[in-house]
Each structure stands twice: as C-alpha cells, then as structure tokens.
Amino acid sequence: MFFRFILYSIIAFLILRSVRYVYRIMTTTNSRRASNFQRTEKPKSSIDQKDIIEADFEEIKESKESNESGSKD
C-alpha cells in the first residue's frame, strides 16, 4: 500500500511538471523566443588597458640528470 502511494505520487509529480512545462512553452511569444537566440552583442568588460601588463616567459630546460633520475621504473 505504501509502495502504491509513492508510485502514484511520483507519477502525479511527473505529470504536473510536464503540464507546467508545456504551459510555459505555449505562453511565451515567438518574438521573445527569437530574441533569445539572436543575441550576438559582445559582453562589455570593465578592464582598462592600463591594467593589462605584458608578461615575459622563460622556457624551462631540464638537465639530463633530472631526466634520468625521474624516469626510473
């Protein structure tokens, strides 16, 4: 009996969610749906060019001794 109650509750929950989902799809206008897909404007960033700095990178070269000791199995 308790199992039936849980099963019926889950089925009712799924039916109500699907009805709510269909209702939301039907009530949205076509122009609103179209505007959601046509957003192509760039997001505006608030980073100033003076805050950007150039970084210098150095290449790391490993010696032969560290390669030989690290590859022991």
pLDDT, tens digit only, all 73 positions of the chain = 889 999 999 999 999 999 999 988 888 766 566 666 666 666 677 777 777 888 888 888 887 766 565 555 4
Residue 33 maps to a domain: no
Query: Could you give the number of structural domains in the chain?
Result: 1
Q: Is 65 contained in some domain?
A: no
The domain containing residue 13 runs over which residues? 1-28
In this structure, is residue 41 part of a structural domain? no
Residue 54 lies in a domain: no
For 55, phi then psi, to 5°, come to: -115, 140
CA 55 from centre of chain:
30
Largest CA distance in the chain: 74
Residue 47 lies in a domain: no
Q: Is residue 24 part of a domain?
A: yes
